[in-house]
Amino acid sequence: MRKLYPLMSVLFIVVLLLSACTPATPTAAPVVEDPTAVPVVEEPTAKPVVEEPTAEPVVEEPMGGTIILATTTSTADSGLLDFILPDFKAKTGVQVDVIAVGTGQAIELGQNGDADVLLVHARSKEDAFMDEGHGVRREDVMYNDFVVVGPADDPAGIKGVAKIKKAFGMMADAEATFVSRGDESGTHVKEKAIWKEVGIEPAGDWYVSAGQGMGAVLVMAGEQQAYTLTDRATYLAVKLEGLDLEIMVEGDAMLFNPYGVIAVNPDKNDKINNELANQFIDWIVSLETQEMISTFGVAEFGAPLFVPDSTAWREAQGEGEATVEGALIITGLVKTPMGWSEEEVRAMETTDAVGTNSDGAEETYTGVSLATLLNMAEPLPEATTIVLIADDGYSVEVPLADVMACETCILSFRTKGGFSSVFPGFAKNTGVKGVVQVQVKK
């Protein structure tokens, strides 16, 4: 028996050694709970990627960027750009940097590649710009008219004179102080064209060349109690600020003032952004923006300062291409577009009307009632306005209801052929020489 103790002791020692060499695996497993591993498991929920929609404001400015608009001072001085440009920025995210100078300077900026897009009002210069390859796209935008303004005492006696050439001649004869833009702007180009038609080269102390924008020239003319040629929109805007000048001459077809927008040729340099220029043009000729233009000035003056004139606007107003022919046509929002030869119109029942001739004297005119002609075409219920269009492109708008209620509003027979509108009691600019078309619109 004594021999068993050493053996059992050996076995006991072996068992102890084996149990010491095989510790329990579960207690050794805390490796899985390593604190450094915990963030790895939670990382997907910790990543802010899912919350990025809150950073999406970029979507509100799909294009972004900046374009340079070179334009005439009248669009800035009248307040039109301040009125419409925020809409373009809101829709596109594009910032428009405006350089408001005379049309001549704006066109020169385009020729030099220092602007992306132009908004100007000198059609002959615009056509030349396009013909010479400086522009790649031109669209009609709007129009208004020029007027001659001057002091209430009217030293040249031109107030109410119907013909602008006669009024200019009278100012020159009287050597009444006249302030010219003198800056090759659209207004200055028009002024020079009138002096050329009159056959006068203005010079002397009475003729002041300012070399300034329209707003500044009006202020100068007011201070000197002088005459000047201005676009109607800027005149009315400055008059709100206290300008002491009155409209003396208006309504002559020569005073028609159309505006166009032009994309500058991007081949001039790599800084010109043609894509954004075209986006700006698409926006300004769109129906929505044209509608904005049609409301500008209505609250203050009872009528818009600019008349929309883009292709899209004209088509929407029923002013598309005429589907009838004749010396006189009625188109637009009518049930039946009409067209007549001059002989057919002269054979209709006539009406007499008393109007003012070019000498400012009353005269009796004979013609056909415009209401009668409109009734033949049958204006649609939504129609509210007519546009009288002359053979030289001059046009004027008149409320349809006023014309329909006027028995003596006629298209008179001209001695040299054609028709002129005579609207007794209406604004002087409704006397349109050479009427060839009447458009009916909203």
Dihedral through CA 316, CA 317, CA 320, CA 324, nearest 10? 140
Q: What pLDDT shows up at residue 63?
A: 55
* Per-residue model confidence as pLDDT tens digits over 233-279: 999 999 999 999 999 999 887 888 999 999 999 999 999 999 999 99
Instruction: Give the pLDDT band of residue 355 (cuts 50, 70, 90).
Output: confident
Q: Is the dihedral of CA 129, 131, 132, 138 positive or negative?
A: positive
CATH superfamily label, 153-252? Periplasmic binding protein-like II (3.40.190.10)
Angle between helices 186-198 and 164-174 (to 10 degrees): 80
Report the mean per-residue pLDDT for the chain.
85
For every residue of 237-254, DSSP letters joined together read HHHTTT---EEEE---GG
Condensed to tens digits (0 to 9), the pLDDT of residues 71-83 reads: 999 999 899 999 9
Q: Which residue has the tokens 């915990």?
A: 38
For residues 251 and 360, is the Cβ–Cβ distance under 8 A? no
Residue from 439, 423, 426 nearest 385 by CA: 439
**Location of structure tokens 């707003």:** 215
From the candidate CATH numbers 3.40.50.2300, 3.40.50.720, 3.40.190.10, 3.30.365.10, the one assigned to the domain spanning 66-144+257-314: 3.40.190.10
Residue 184 corresponds to which tokens in the numbers above? 């090759």
DSSP string for 279-345: HHHHHHTSHHHHHHHHHTTHHHHSS-SSEE--HHHHHHTT-SS-S--SSEEEEESBSS-EEE-HHHH
The CA R_g of the chain, rounded to the nearest whole Å, is 38
Between residues 15 and 321, which one has the greater pLDDT?
321
Tokens 């805390």, residue? 30
What residue segments make up the domains of the chain, in order of their start? 66-144+257-314, 153-252, 321-441
What is the number of alpha carbons within 13 Å of residue 431 lying toward its C-beta? 22
Pair of tokens at residue 272 = 């010109």
Is 321-441 in the same CATH topology as 66-144+257-314?
Answer: no
pLDDT of 143 higher than 50: yes
As its CATH architecture, domain 321-441 has Alpha-Beta Complex (3.90)
Give the separation between CA 104 and CA 119, rounded to whole angstroms: 11
**Structure-derived torsion over alpha carbons of residues 294, 295, 298, 300, reported in degrees to the nearest 10:** -130
pTM, two decimal places: 0.63
Q: How confident is the model at residue 325 (pLDDT cuts 50, 70, 90)?
A: confident
Whether the CA torsion 187, 190, 194, 199 is positive or negative: it is positive
* Cβ proximity of 222 and 245 under 8 Å: yes
Strand partners, 438: 330, 388
Nearest to 440 by CA among 331, 336, 361: 331
223 residue type, one letter: E
